[in-house]
Structure formats: C-alpha cells, structure tokens
Structure 1
Amino acid sequence: MNIVRRSDRLRINFYCKYCYYTILTKHVSDYPPVFQSKDVENGWYDVWEKNKYFTVKPSDKETLKMLLPPPNITGTLHLGHALTVTIQDILARWYRMKGHPVVWIPGLDHAGIATQLIIEKHLSKTKGIVKSDIEKEQFLSYIWEWKDQKENEIKSQLKALGASVDWSKEYFTMSKNYNDTVVEAFVTLNEKKLLYRKKNLVNWSPILQSTISDIEVDYMYIDKKTEVAVPGYKKKITFGEIAYIAYPLKDSKDKIIVATTRPETVFGDVAIAVHPDDERYGKYIGQNVWHTMRNTYIPVIADPSVDRNFGTGAVKITPAHDHLDYIIATNHQLDVIDVIDKCGNITEAGNLYEGLPRFIAREKVLNELSNRGLLQSVCDHNVSIPRCSRSRDIIEYILKEQWFVKSKSMAQKAIEAVEQNHLNIVPSIHKQTWYDWLNNIRDWCISRQLWWGHSIPAYYVTVGDKAEWIIARTESDARLIAESTYGCNLELHKDQDVLDTWFSSAIIPFAVLGWPKKTEDFKNYYPLTLMETGYDILFFWVSRMVMLGLELTGRLPFNEILLHGMLCDSHGKKMSKSIGNVISPENIINGATLDEVSIQMEENHNMGILEKKELRRMLVANKKMFPNGVPQCGVDALRVTLCSHNIKNLKIHFDVMECQANKFFCNKIWQAGRFILFMTNGREYQEPKSMSIIDRWILSQLSLMVSTVNNAIMQRDFHQAITSIREFLHYTFCDYYLEAVKHGFQSNNSEIITSHTYGTRTCFEVSLRIIAPIMPYLADDLYKRLSDKFTEFLSVPSLMEAPYPTSEEFSKWADYRLHKRFDAVLMIVSEIRSLTGGIKGIQKPMVHIVISNPDNFNFYNEVINLIKGGCRLHNICVFQKHNYMHDENSTCFQFTPDCTFVFISQDSAVLNTIKERSIKRVSNDESNLKLQDEM
C-alpha cells in the first residue's frame, strides 16, 4: 500500500494553503471581509421606497390583504411589535416575489385610557402640571404633540425593521376621516336597534375616574393574608382574608354567620341569601336578620345561584358592587344601595364612615363589628383581586348609566362563521376558547369618562325629570330631531363621555378602506385576507372586529386569523416592565452598553413612562442579564430569531444570545458569498455536461430546501422554513459542500471546476432569493454585490423584483436515493470528526477508510473531497478491505460491519487519545442499545 511520508504531507499541505490564499486575495476591494449589519442595512429601505415596491401592483393572482395591528402612541415599539411586523413582512415579501399583489396597511391607535394616563404622568413629572389644573383643550394639545413625536419614532422603528407597508394608506384612529367613520358605525348600530343606554354594573377605576374594558382588568390571585400596594394609599392594604360576621335573627337567639371578603360594603347589604336546598338554613328563609351597621332588618332569601360551599353557605347581598348580587337583587326586587363612589370613597350610605377611602373603611368596619361582638373570625382565603392594567388600581364594580352594545346576536354570527369554516383560526387550539367566550358574552359597555377619545354622538334633552337621548351624526341633526319631537324651547346637551378604544379599533378593517362609502379600495380590498396578532387579544379585539364587520358590512372582515404566542424571555417569563426583562428592539439591532441601557431607562422614568419601582427593578435586571451590555445583532438576525420558534405556541422564548448566534449565521452566509466570488469570479457559468456527484447532491439538497421552505411559509410555520434554510446554508452548503469543492477548485480538472462553479453559484443565487423575505437586508446587499460579477444573477435593484424559487423549477435535481447515500457519508464525517477533534496541526493523524462493499468503495472515492473537507483533514484515503494492510503505528475503529476507520500516526499520544475515544464511543453505543431493549 502507498503511505505518504510526513514530510511530503507537510509540503502538500503548505502548497494547498498557498494556492488557496493566493486565490482568496483576488477581488477583495469591494467585498468587506466580515459581515457588518449597519453597513448592509444602510440605504436599502430608501431603495425599496424609491422603487415603490410597497404599493399594490396589478396582477391576475389573488391579492394578499393585511393590516398591521396599530401600535399605541403611548410609547415606542417593543419586541412583541417586532414579532408581529416580522411575521407579516415575511408574508408580504414572499407573496410579492411569487407575483401576488400585496396590500399591507399601517396605522396608529390613539389608545384612549393608556395615552391619557401616560400624558398625565408625563405632565406631572416634566412640567409639574396636574390634569385638573388645566382646561380640556390644553390637555388635548399636549396629547397631539406627544402623538406627533411618537408617530415619528414608531415609523422610524418600523422602517428599521424592514416593514414593507404601504405608507400611502397610513391611518390614525383619531383623524377627522376616521372619526367620521366611527360616528357612522355608532349611528348604524343604533338604527339596527343594537345600542341602548342603561344603568348597570361596570368596571370602574377610581384612579382613572372611568369605566374600563374587561381586557384592561388583570386579576391578582392570592391564597393567604398578603399586603398589597394600592395607588392612593400610603400603607399597603391587606388582602387574602375572609371575615365571618354574625347577623342576629329577628325574635330569636339564633344567628346566621355570613362570610365575606368585602366587609367595607356592608352598608349596601339588602339581604342574606342561601341556597333553597341547603338544609342548614331552610327554616330561616323568609325571616329577617338585624343589620347592625345599617340599624335595620334585612330579609333572608333563597336563590339557587348561591354557592353552598363558599364560606358558611350564607352570603350577604350587596347589589351595587357585585355582578351576581345585582342579578339576585333584580330577581327578588330588592333595593340597590351605592356604597362606594367614583373616587373609591364610602358614600353617605356609610353614615359616620362617609368620605373614608374604601380600604380604610374596611379596617374600621371590622374593628366596629369586633367591638359589637359580631365579628366571629378573620381567616386566610383565596381571592382574585381585579386590578386596572394601566393604573394598577383595584377595580370597583359600580352602577353607572352607560351606552351598551347588544352582543348576543353578533356573537352567534361570529361563532357560526368559524363552525362553518368561513373563518379559519390558526392554530385551531384557539377555536374552543373562541366558542366559549362568545357563547358567554355580555353586552359591551362602550362609554368612557375620558378627555382623549372619540366623542359619543349622543345628545339629550331634559323632559320633566327624565333625560331623553338622541343619537345623531351631528349636533345640528340632533337638534332637528329634538325640536321635531319636543318643541323648539329646549336645551340640547352633548354626552361628555368618549367611546371605548376597542370600539373604534374594531372597525379598522373596513374603516381604513373607506367604509361606509363604496370606495375603490373598499371594493377591491375588503375583506382582508389575514389578521395576524397575538392570541391574548383574540376576544377583545379580533372577535369584535368579526362581530362589527359582519353586522356593519355583511361580510367577514378577514378570512384567516393567525395568532402568535406570548413573547417570553429565555426562562419562559412574559416580557414585562414589572419583571424587568423587557429589551428594546433598537438595542438588539444596534447594540448598547449597560450604561446606555440604564440611561434609556432613566429617561423613560423622567418622562413619566416608567414608575420609580419599575425603574429600579429594570436597572437591577439589566445588570444581571447584560453585564457587558446588549450585543449588536442587526435587523436580519433579530428577524430570524423572532421566527425561529413556533409562533403558534402559547409561549415564544426569546434569547439575545440566540440572536447573536443568528448574527454569526448571517456572517456565515456573507463568507460563503465571499468564497464563491473568490473561487469563481471570471469563470464561465454553464450547466456541465458531466456534473460531479457532489454537485448533483447539493443541487438535490437545494431542491428539497426550496420545497420545504415554500410549504412551511404557506402553512405559516416560519420556524420550519428557517430550520430548513439554516440546515442547508449553514451545515450542508457551507460546512460540507464548500469545504469539499475547495479541493476541486484547486485541481486542474476543468470539468470538475465547471461543475463546481455551476453548483456553488446556482445554490447561492437561489438561496439569496429564498432568504429574501426573512433576511431582506443581507439578501439584497449580497445579491447586488454578486449580480455585478455574475451574469446569471438577475439585474434588478432589489430581490423584491425577483421571482421566488419554487419546487417545480428545481424538481429535476431531486434525487432522494442520493440523499440517503450521502447521509451515510455525513455520518462517517461526523464520526471521524468526533474521534479526531482537538488534535491540531501536524499532529493530526492520517485516516484510512477501509470498505468491504465494492460499490461503497467506488462511491466513497467519488466523494472523497467531501469527506476530506467535512473532516478538515487532507490525508484521508479509501481502501478495499481484501487488499488492505495495517500499519503498526495505527489504531482501528469499527464504524459499521462494512466500514472501519484506521488512524495512523507516529505520535503514540495521538493514537492513545483516539483509542480512548473509540472505547468510550463503543461503550456509549452499547449502553444506548441496552436502554432501547429495556424500553
């Protein structure tokens, strides 16, 4: 057998490296050696806008119609927004490249409560102004200034993220045109008899002095005595307790013990209720008990809605502050007594307690009951505390006259749309929650007591002691109606409330297209194709868009709902300012030192955006998470990371270090382009008459990748697309194929060089078009650089003009039998690398692959360059077993019955290292086989 001497190997290695680096020094002036995201991203968005790629282009193909869920003007975009933008932008770019017209509409939401609250904090913090000290118009002027500033910041962020939205269709939910549409929607619902005004229980925030929607209520669950900070109170308030209070029966020594978690509301008790089948209390039903705090008797009633397992089974009925109590009181025609006012203080019903804050009154009531001998005990208890998500105040349920939308019939239509498959919810796991929520929907309170928002188009006149309400598009219309009904001598008053933000946002899909007018946009682009957003607002926004869309336009607002999960940190915790794990997209894109991040947090605090405790928490968290600052990753790496996990899962884990790894992936692609340019620039590109087996294999792998990516994006499984791209580009193409073709390019075989030129450039050109929707900056920049050098690359300003690769185009290269044969080769490479890894330089051993099967012998010799390149070893040979003679300075490893590795080295330490690894590998394999047998 022929064994190359060590001295000869050194000369060969040196000559190969010299030739290789000589080639690499060509044509480097206009191709930076390292991927720099800032340089790559610079200027490309201007190119896209200048060429009007974002506007809809006419085509016979079906149009993709989307709108970007409008960010609130409360602040700048966070990573959750970046996820939504990335998902939609991938779809928009993919569909455009496939020849479909795309309409993608951007906008901003005025976010009534959130914006008003943050402006109040901002004015207090920066100007020392309290809202009550200024006029409404002046306050609103501050909000419009804030809106203009945030609009510019948000648009800059969207552009930085690469959002290819049609800016010509941009909207704001408080613009004049949009306000007209909101008024029309309100009036139309009234004409359809779906609006009414009624005094009912609402979610009330004493701090905001307004009703709030269900979505703005968070529930804090505690199971024992706990001190909780409540806005407006100097001391923390005790929750997680239940009080047992005695109510003496009239003309009896007996008492009924009632359990309550709200002792401060005793002044509104109008009855004691028990279950009609509860044997403990049957004899008391119809009797009266003495209410010591009200100095009166109240009845004992029976109602089947009473939970016999709660407390003692007997409950006090306080209808003005509890939904179930209100229903019971209505059914039994009981009085309703307001106990807590809009400021969260005790009303005159509390006698001596009038004006006391509700939770101060709680403590005093318990003390008084204890002094009177009626407080039996106070124990730990499970409670859910409703809190305002904006102000963190404790929500109070109070009776207030408000406007409501009848929701039952609209909800039923929304249910049927999904049941009948007219509306597709992806993932389908959310269908059951859709049904559950809509089947149990309550009428929708749409009044808000704010300054910032859409004024309700309702007016009233006083007739006797009653207010008669008129709904009209304008005040002049309302006056005409009022005068024709009640005469000319009247005073017309405007409703001072504004509409719930969710009402105005629920009409976005048709409002932004010109409804109620039959505009060309409305005719052409309604309904939308897709609504993509987070699953957490499925009920409060998406369902309401569906309900109002069906009711006001007669059609679904969109055909598909794509819901992504909640963005969490690497530990699975929801990203939240209160936890301190929020990361700014800009910091990930551009990088930031720890000091810079801290300064940003402090600026937000100084502007009134961050509370002091949130600031402290985030400063501490940032020191733990980013002791060396946030690494610069770039836009493309951020986009890849956001979609690398299954967006359909309930939680999406985000790790900055994963983002940094994806930056290295971008650099890997960059280096591949650089290598191909150096190796093939100036060479003729043509499909070879005789293609090498390695090139046939890589083109087959390319065909598989193209098919997988297209199918994955069509199914909205972006993580599968990215996995396929990474496996092909990072591992198959760069780590194996390019390492293999180095040897071919350094040979004098013109057929091999032609074949490799065709293989490398075809794969890379197609791959850049494949990644363009996901990594648009990198793809466009690389493609432009290489299109100037390679004639087969398209001469286009951007890949947004290029066709997206399809599986049909590359099916001729698909060879799944070849895949299997190469899988075996890659296993050989992996095994050799594991056995020789860490052995450096001249100490690396020679490797002989000894084969029993003649077919495999011939095949492995054909792909020997792939094995050498993959193993990072030049001295690898393949031998047939029948004529192979072992060298005395060697050690063997039986890989398969057909394949043995022989490692040859003059260095006994190298052989001992490989031998130890071989023994360990065999031992592990035997353990795994034993474990499989046991299972």
Structure 2
Amino acid sequence: MQIHVQRINSFPRFIILYKRDFNRHVSHLLQGFPEKYDLKMTENGRYEIWMQNNYFNPNNIEKETFKMILPPPNITGVLHLGHALTVTIQDILSRWHRMRGYPVTWIPGLDHAGSATQVIVEKMLKKQTNLSKSDMSKDEFLKFVEQWKLEKGDTIRSQLKTLGATLDWSKEFYTLNEDHNISVTEAFIKLYKKELLYRHKTLINWSHALGSTISDIEIENLCVDGKTMLEVPGYDRKVAFGEIAEIAFQIKDSNKKIVVATTRPETLHGDVAIAVHPQDSRYADLIGQDVWHPLREVYVPIIADSLVDRNFGTGAVKITPAHDRLDFIIAQNHKLSSIDVINENGTLTNAAKSFMGLKKFHARSKILSKLSELGALQSMKEHKVMLPLCSRSGDVIELILKEQWFLKCEKMAERAMDAVKTGSLKIDPKSREEEWFDYLQNIKDWCISRQLIWGHRIPAYYATTNGNFGEWIPARSMEEAKRIAQEKYSYKNEIVQDCDVLDTWFSSALLPLTIAGWPNNWSNYKKYYPLTLLETGKDILCFWVARMAMLGLELSNQLPFENILLHGLITDSHGRKMSKSVGNVILPDHVIHGIDFQSIQEETKKTFEAGLIKQQEFKRTVKLYNESLSKGIPECGTDALRMTLCAPHNVKDQTISFNVAECETNKRFLNKIWQACRYVLGVIEKGELIEPAIFSDIDKWILSRLAFMVQNVNEALSTNQFNKAILSMKEFLYHEFCDVYIEATKFVLSNNHKDMDENEINIASHTYTLAKCLEVFLRSFAPVAPYFTDDLYLRLSERLSIFSPGPSIFKTSYPVSKEFQKYRDIDLEEKVREARKIMNPLKMILSYVNKSETQVYIVVKKLEDRLFLEKSLSLIRSGTKIVDIQVRTYQSYKPKPDSIYGKIEPDKFIYLKIKNADKEKQIKQMIVEKRESILKELEDQTNFIRGLRTDKKTDLNKKIKAEAKIKRAINQLESMPMLGEVDFAETNVIKEK
C-alpha cells in the first residue's frame, strides 16, 4: 500500500492512512508500550529511584519553605488506613508545593507511645512466654520493648515508602532519643520555674491493669443499659454491670430511715456522708441529722448540696470523696475527709475491714450479701450506667486519690484561643473552631505523670534530710539535683529520682520545638519552626494539637504552626468506625498488594495468637471477614488507594467511608488513562510537535476545558479540597478528553478524507492537542498518583517532544492557571455543552442500531435551536461517528407513526431512519422485545416487594436489592429508543404502538 506523507509549513510529519491499514500502523507505533496498566511494573523500585536522586529534600532557597511533620505513628503495630490517609494528604501537598518551586521540609518520626506500647508488649509476652512484667527485671522488660520498637519501626518505614511518602528521612526522629529527652527535660524545668508545674494529691483516672494513671483520651465510655455481664481484665468470670442498689440507713434517735441509691456498693466503706438536694422536700426535715452506716459502723451526717441530682435513684446519694469526682467536690465544699477504700491493684484497703484484700468486683457481691443479712439492702434494680473503660487494656477505670505532677493550663489556653480569634492560627475546617474554644475555655490542669516503665523519666528528685523533711527538685541530672539541694540547704541530702514517667502526650506536644533543635540548637530554628501546616485527625485536636499550641507559645513565645488541617475518621463502607473490637480493620498493605481470603484469616489468627487482640475481638473479626471479604481483596496498588482515600468524599468531613470497590474503580480509571496514552502514541509519529497556527473547534474546546481543569485543581488544592481536585481531573479525563474529544479525533485520524488540505490541518491540530492535554493532565495528576504518572510521563517523553525530557515528572513544574488562560473560550464551551446534550443520548440510542445504515433527524421546536445545532453539527458528527445528521423544526418534519425516536428534552427529539428495510424491521422488533422484557422485570420486582415483610432483617435486605433492580430498569427504559410518534402541534403526547 502507498502511504501519503506530506508536510505543511512548520507542521510535523503526519501519516494519512487508509482505514484498513490504520490498526497495523498503530501496532507499529506502540511497540514497547504495554497493552494495559501493570501496577507492579509501575511501582516496583520507583521510590528507591526518587530517594537516590534526592527528590525529597529542599532545593530552592528563594521561596519560603513549606514545613510539616508527619504525626509520628505509634510503635504499637503497623500502619492502618487512618495513617494512610494522613500520609496521602501530606504527600499530595508536599509534591504540589515542590512542583510549584517551593522547598519542602516534611519530617518523619516514630512515637514511643508509652502505655500503648507497654500494654502490647505485655500481651505478647504473656501469650507467647506466659511471662508477665512482674516476672522479670525492669532492664529485661525494656529489652523486649526495644526489640519490638526496632521491628515495628522497620515495618512502618517500609509502609510509608510503599505509600510514596516523600519524607526527608535524614531528619527522622524518635520521641525517646537523646535529643528529645533533653528537650523534654528542659521543658519540664522551665515550666516548673514559671510556676506552671506543681505536685498535688487529687483524684486521677487509674487503670488497675496498667498500674498507672491515664488521660481522658485513653478512656472509652461504654453505655450499659440494664444488667449486662462483661469481661474485665484480672477476673476469671464476667462481672455484672447495669444495676443499682437501694440501701437503707437508720436515722439516729429515730424510727425513720433514708434510702440511698448507688451503682457502686464496693465503695461503701469510703462513705463520709449522705447528701440530698437542699430543695428536695422529701428530705428537708432530715438535713443535719446523722445516720448509722451499717458497714462502717459509725454515724455519718446528712448534708445538703445543690450539686446532688434529685432525679438519680432515690434522690439521696452516698458521698465517697476518694472515688468519685462529684463526691470529691461536695466533700471539699463541706470540709469532709476522704477515705481510700480501693488500692492501686484493685483490691480493697484495710478501711473495708473484713473485706480487705478482695478484688473490688468480688467484694461487691459479698458486700451486697452482707447488707442483705443486716436488712439494709432494700432492692436491686436494673439501671443505665456509663462505664469508663481503659482503651488500652479494657479495664474499668477507677478514680483514686494520688499525688501527681500537674501542669497549669488556664493562662496557656487563653493564648491559644486568642491566636485563633485574631486569625494568626487558622483551623480548617473552620467548624472545628467551636471544639477548640469549648475545650480551652473549660480546660483543667493536666496530670502529666504516669506509673509506667516505658517513657521519659520525670526529671524531678526528692530530697530528704533524716527522713523528716522533703522537697521535689526538678533538675537535668542527679548531680545537678544534689548541687541545688546542697546550695539551698547547706547540708547533705538523700536524693531519689521520681520513678514515674511523663505522659506521652506531653513529649509529643513538644515535637515542633524538639525537631527545630530547641533548646540547644535553637539558633537555626527558623528552618523548621514554626511549621507551615499541622495536619492530623480531628479526634486529637484537643489532646495533641491544642497542647502543642499552648506549649509552643509558652516556651518559644511563638505559635508552633500557622495552619491546622483536620481530617475525619475512617469508617468502613457501612459507616462503622474501623477498630479491632468491631473486627472491620482493613490494612493499606492488603489493598495495595491484594490478599486472598485464606491469608486474611491466617493473619488475623496470628494477631490473636500473638496476644494483640482478645478472643472476642478475634471471633468478631473472623465473622465480619466471612461476611464482607469472602472473596479477599483485589490488588489495587498505591495510586488507586491514595485516590480512594481522598475522593469522592471530603477529607474534612466527620467520617470518611472507605470502600474497596471504589479502589477497584480508581484502578480502572488509571487503566483508562493508560489506554488514552496508547491511543495518542498510536496516531502520532515520533518527532517534533509544534503548536499549530489554527485549531479546529473541538481542539479549542478541549484546550479550554484543560485550562478550566488546571484552574479548578489549583484552587481546590490551595483550600485542601482534595476531592474537588480529583473529581475535576476525573471529569476532564473521563468525560471530556476520552468520551468526547478522543472519539471526535478518531473521525479524522483513522480515515482518509477528500479534502486533504483541511484534513492535514485538522490532523496537526488534533495531534498537538492530544499530546498537550495528556502532558498537562499527567503533571496535574502527579501529586495524587505519583507512581503511575512518573512511569507514564517518562515513557511518553521518549516518544513525544511536548513532554519534558528528564529523570522524573517531579522535576517538571506544576501547571498553573496563567499558562493556559489563552486557551479559555467560555462561549465555545457553552456551544459544546449544548451539543453534548444531543450527543450523549444520541450515542446511547444509537447503541441499538447500525450506525452506517442510519440517518438521524434532530427535531426541535424553536428556530433558534435549529440554527444553533446546525452550527454544531460538525461537533455532533465527530462525537457520534454519524455523518448523516440533519436538523429539522416541528413544522418541517413529519415522522411516520412507527418511527424510532428518543426524547432529549421536552421540546427536542431524535428520529432514526434505517436505510435497510429488513434491518429496520429487525431493530423495531428488538426494541419491542427489549421494552417488554424490562417492563416484565419491573412488574416482577414490584410484586416481589409487596410480598416481603419489612420487620424482618433478611426481607429488608431483599427489598433494598429489589429496589436497586427497579431503579436500573427505569434507567434502561428512559435511555431506550421508542416506537411511535409525537403530536408536535398539540401536547407532545407520545403515541406508542
């Protein structure tokens, strides 16, 4: 065959082919380019190349550095989808800023995670060796923890690299290393000198299982509505909760009794009073009298206090200051003493007399039996109880009186609030400001000491002389503490360091300072402080972010970050929070690499056997996986996972639903891009691509839409609306570039037309525009899908001159609006938008007929509509591949009674005329049969629903499926061609056969 080759002006060489040889030539041009997207080929080894080429480190000193830290993952285990979301958001922002020419410092690290890590290691040891922490020395236990940290640290780093995180690994930190310990010690001492730190005995949250105080964030409140048996750590049998006891107390020198309601009979030996509300008429005459306590065997007073809830129980409550916050306050109001009745190990103290040494919940049943014997127990009733549980161990939290270190927060909180009020600190989304103010306005002093082995040892030393004098001395070392004591008291002291450690949140709250070198290397701090952005989950706004702001302002007199971005909580596809206790956790590794059902089961079993989840959690997980992941999880790759985490939902929403099916959809989207690139390579000869002097209308349109996409994406990324950025790119690539533009170019590029000069110009316009759109799109998409775009860009740069040569797409610049404003043509976009209203339903209707034998009439009511559409016919023809299309008004077109037609809008119709009479008859019969089949399906599903019972869960699920089938059937009917005619002159009523 002879191939016609021609060069016009400065246009590159283009090959005009006869249709029968087009595919053969395309095959030649696509040699070496894989047929489909292969994520292993795309992702394997690419991260190492980025690191070797030092792509992650700052390299532009002219612009201000964009600074972030990765919230350090706890070394308790592997990264979950919540971590993956954080990494993806921050990496998109990092890559976007780098490609725009800004130096980026994004610092990784690991958090020692205090109690969480200690609990995990203890569980593992108990399960694997049957040893507990008490069976070994402190140093032996710490060796196990350190080994755990090394293993988990390596796993976490590997996961971060797989996710594509462009972190500056040269600045990696660990919250227990020497530099951080120096900063933590210095912060403690400075805060003490500012009189913000003090030691005080008060009520604290105590976990018997941990043997430590815990913070409010580590408590999960469980609502128990009525009598419920629950497992409690340290107990062989389940314990009953959700009951309230009514106990009668005899009034002194009277026949009367007062009945007190309590959900905690195990604390009765700590009672110091009975309290009622001063305005409760039931007890007005009893206030000030004494009652006989049947267990303590002493008289206690009846007091009145407005803090008493008259609607709780009988309205009379026992006051146990050592184990209840409200009781503690009431006791202080009335100058009552406190009695400790529960030890730190969960047993009763000697104040409980004969019950001393019993575990508190064992003692509960025995105390109730004793009260019954004494005739004091009036009744036991079911009662709604809010049970505070330790999130680490599952233990029921006890409030106990204990001396601890506290940090005064009120003044620091005021400064953090003012920063948001004045706008110097911005929170995104703004709706979170209410939570910020609510927390800081009602802030309490912060208990920062923990009774753990693992953590930063509190840098405070107790100095005593002959056992009769003592004082706490914060110091950097034992030697410094001794020197201070000697200088202060002029005699030798006995010095002992506090054996407790600091709350992990305290050391973590100092991170912006410590990574900047505070306090020793503070001279260079501006490189790293303040951070440009602090991005993290909404659930730790108060417990981490607010505390960072407070301590940063207090210790450096400067905010530690300028902007806060908060993302929502990851849930499963049913909206449930992902957690081990629910059994619905999906790991990012499983989505990236895929995993079969058997392997999921085996991994879950190993986690259980290692002691990391309870048997109940294990059973629940197995059950849920059997229901939802029986086919396993397909291999989706990192880029599809990143897309799914950031779209279609807004990451700033309260919850972010994650669906594996969406990952599969995004993987197909990546393959769609791949196929678009194959098409472009198949129609463009290797050579120089020069922007043509003349563009066809369809080229002008897609370039205008490209400019619009670039503008939208940059605006979306600048406001942290990742879903809008991704959806804008999807809309362009899927529905405009592929569905409309590529299909339109095929009309010219795969055929030989009579008008060679016009065709040559169109080919020059099409080929340049095809390459231009792909090149700009890939650069725009690069921060979201780094592996995919880098691989594809390098492949295309070898063949298409419009692609910048170089080692990586990340060495190119990010597309910005001003570069593409010259292409924007809003009037043309409107013209094409109207044409697409015709094209889309027309393509759907034409899927039922043979295009080559079809004549199309577009029938409209208004003359102006006819004139507009006639001007748009070239676009419609190129987009639908139908040459024989005409536009008519109602007056000039008379359809046959059995015409094939489709309705576009109330006053716009499409009529099809099949040139082959036999073919027309077959198609009409097919349309009739298809419509009858769909109508039968509608009738069957409707009758099926009528026969279901909505009160049954199984029937409700069947109803949902049936309704989905009905919806699909209706959509099919609406998109199908019909047989009949429209009475244009009257009411446009369809007359169907």
1:94 is matched with which residue? 96
* Correspondence 1:910 to 2:929: no
Instruction: Tell me which of 752, 757, 769 is aligned to 2:767.
Output: 757
Give the C-alpha shift of residue 253 in structure 1: 1.2
Paired with 2:395 and 2:853, the residues of 1 have a C-alpha distance of 69
Given that 1:83 and 1:642 are in contact with CA atoms closer than 8 Å, whether structure 2 keeps it comes out as: yes
* Closer, same or farther: CA 332–883 of 1 in aligned 2, 3 Å: closer
2:130 is matched with which residue? 128
Structure 1 residues 866-893: Cα deviation after superposition (integer angstroms, max 9, x where no partner): 431xxxx546523455876868984234
Given that 1:535 and 1:563 are in contact with CA atoms closer than 8 Å, whether structure 2 keeps it comes out as: yes
Structure 1 residues 512-537: Cα deviation after superposition (integer angstroms, max 9, x where no partner): 11001344541222111111111101
2:957 is matched with which residue? none
1:578 is matched with which residue? 581
1:863 is matched with which residue? 875
Instruction: Tell me which of 729, 746, 754 is aligned to 1:742.
Output: 746
Paired with 2:357 and 2:50, the residues of 1 have a C-alpha distance of 62
Equivalences for residues 371-770 of structure 1 within 5 A: 371-463=373-465, 464-519=467-522, 521-644=524-647, 645-682=649-686, 684-748=688-752, 749-770=759-780
Paired with 2:389 and 2:379, the residues of 1 have a C-alpha distance of 27
Structure 2 letter corresponding to 1:642? L
Give the C-alpha shift of residue 780 in structure 1: 0.6
Give the C-alpha shift of residue 601 in structure 1: 1.6
Paired with 2:256 and 2:855, the residues of 1 have a C-alpha distance of 98
Paired with 1:681 and 1:125, the residues of 2 have a C-alpha distance of 66
Give the C-alpha shift of residue 827 in structure 1: 1.6
RMSD: 2.3
1:835 is matched with which residue? 845
* Correspondence 1:338 to 2:340: yes
Structure 1 residues 550-605: Cα deviation after superposition (integer angstroms, max 9, x where no partner): 11111111111111000000100000111111111111001111111122222222
1:33 is paired with a residue whose SS is coil
Given that 2:877 and 2:885 are in contact with CA atoms closer than 8 Å, whether structure 1 keeps it comes out as: no
Structure 1 residues 629-673: Cα deviation after superposition (integer angstroms, max 9, x where no partner): 111000000000000010111000000000110000010111111
Given that 1:567 and 1:651 are in contact with CA atoms closer than 8 Å, whether structure 2 keeps it comes out as: yes
* Closer, same or farther: CA 784–348 of 1 in aligned 2, 3 Å: same
* Correspondence 1:794 to 2:804: yes
Structure 1 letter corresponding to 2:739? D
Equivalences for residues 134-149 of structure 1 within 5 A: 134-149=136-151
Segments of structure 1 that go 5 or more residues without pairing to the other structure are 1-14, 931-935
1:53 is matched with which residue? 55
* Closer, same or farther: CA 843–284 of 1 in aligned 2, 3 Å: farther
More deviation in 539-548 or 912-921?
Answer: 912-921
Structure 2 letter corresponding to 1:505? S
1:9 is matched with which residue? none
Equivalences for residues 21-60 of structure 1 within 5 A: 21-60=23-62
More deviation in 583-592 or 676-685?
Answer: 676-685
Given that 1:889 and 1:904 are in contact with CA atoms closer than 8 Å, whether structure 2 keeps it comes out as: no
1:603 is paired with a residue whose SS is helix
2:154 is matched with which residue? 152
* Closer, same or farther: CA 17–751 of 1 in aligned 2, 3 Å: closer
1:89 is paired with a residue whose SS is helix
1:821 is matched with which residue? 831
Give the C-alpha shift of residue 100 in structure 1: 1.0
Paired with 1:240 and 1:259, the residues of 2 have a C-alpha distance of 13
Paired with 1:850 and 1:223, the residues of 2 have a C-alpha distance of 67
Paired with 2:380 and 2:838, the residues of 1 have a C-alpha distance of 72
Paired with 2:693 and 2:852, the residues of 1 have a C-alpha distance of 41
1:773 is paired with a residue whose SS is coil
2:991 is matched with which residue? none
Given that 2:831 and 2:872 are in contact with CA atoms closer than 8 Å, whether structure 1 keeps it comes out as: no
Structure 2 letter corresponding to 1:425? I
More deviation in 844-853 or 804-813?
Answer: 844-853
Structure 2 letter corresponding to 1:624? E
Given that 2:452 and 2:500 are in contact with CA atoms closer than 8 Å, whether structure 1 keeps it comes out as: yes
Give the C-alpha shift of residue 609 in structure 1: 2.0
Paired with 1:395 and 1:134, the residues of 2 have a C-alpha distance of 26
Structure 1 letter corresponding to 2:684? T
Instruction: Tell me which of 810, 822, 846 is aligned to 1:812.
Output: 822
Given that 2:839 and 2:876 are in contact with CA atoms closer than 8 Å, whether structure 1 keeps it comes out as: no
2:403 is paired with a residue whose SS is strand
1:933 is matched with which residue? none
* Correspondence 1:315 to 2:317: yes
Paired with 1:130 and 1:579, the residues of 2 have a C-alpha distance of 27
Paired with 1:82 and 1:919, the residues of 2 have a C-alpha distance of 41
Instruction: Tell me which of 897, 901, 923 is aligned to 2:910.
Output: 901
Paired with 1:540 and 1:742, the residues of 2 have a C-alpha distance of 58
Give the C-alpha shift of residue 843 in structure 1: 10
Structure 1 letter corresponding to 2:508? S
Paired with 1:72 and 1:846, the residues of 2 have a C-alpha distance of 67
2:858 is matched with which residue? 849
Given that 1:387 and 1:395 are in contact with CA atoms closer than 8 Å, whether structure 2 keeps it comes out as: yes
Give the C-alpha shift of residue 60 in structure 1: 2.6
Equivalences for residues 244-255 of structure 1 within 5 A: 244-255=246-257
Give the C-alpha shift of residue 854 in structure 1: 5.2
Given that 1:341 and 1:347 are in contact with CA atoms closer than 8 Å, whether structure 2 keeps it comes out as: yes
1:214 is matched with which residue? 216
Given that 2:252 and 2:292 are in contact with CA atoms closer than 8 Å, whether structure 1 keeps it comes out as: yes
More deviation in 336-345 or 232-241?
Answer: 232-241
TM-score computed with the length of structure 1 as normaliser: 0.94
Given that 1:887 and 1:904 are in contact with CA atoms closer than 8 Å, whether structure 2 keeps it comes out as: no
Structure 2 letter corresponding to 1:385? L
Structure 1 letter corresponding to 2:867? D
2:733 is paired with a residue whose SS is helix
Structure 1 residues 712-752: Cα deviation after superposition (integer angstroms, max 9, x where no partner): 01110100111101111111111121111111112441111
Paired with 1:210 and 1:217, the residues of 2 have a C-alpha distance of 13
More deviation in 416-425 or 842-851?
Answer: 842-851
Given that 1:242 and 1:380 are in contact with CA atoms closer than 8 Å, whether structure 2 keeps it comes out as: yes
Paired with 1:918 and 1:189, the residues of 2 have a C-alpha distance of 71
Paired with 1:278 and 1:24, the residues of 2 have a C-alpha distance of 91
1:283 is paired with a residue whose SS is coil
Paired with 2:539 and 2:975, the residues of 1 have a C-alpha distance of 53
Give the C-alpha shift of residue 17 in structure 1: 6.5
2:958 is matched with which residue? none
1:732 is paired with a residue whose SS is helix
Give the C-alpha shift of residue 899 in structure 1: 4.3
Paired with 1:889 and 1:295, the residues of 2 have a C-alpha distance of 101
Given that 1:112 and 1:452 are in contact with CA atoms closer than 8 Å, whether structure 2 keeps it comes out as: yes
Paired with 2:882 and 2:846, the residues of 1 have a C-alpha distance of 13
Paired with 2:733 and 2:879, the residues of 1 have a C-alpha distance of 18
2:606 is paired with a residue whose SS is helix
TM-score computed with the length of structure 2 as normaliser: 0.88
Structure 2 letter corresponding to 1:660? E
Paired with 1:695 and 1:633, the residues of 2 have a C-alpha distance of 34
| Identical pairs, percent | 48
Given that 2:482 and 2:493 are in contact with CA atoms closer than 8 Å, whether structure 1 keeps it comes out as: no
2:586 is paired with a residue whose SS is coil
Number of residue pairs the alignment of both structures matches: 908
Structure 2 letter corresponding to 1:862? S
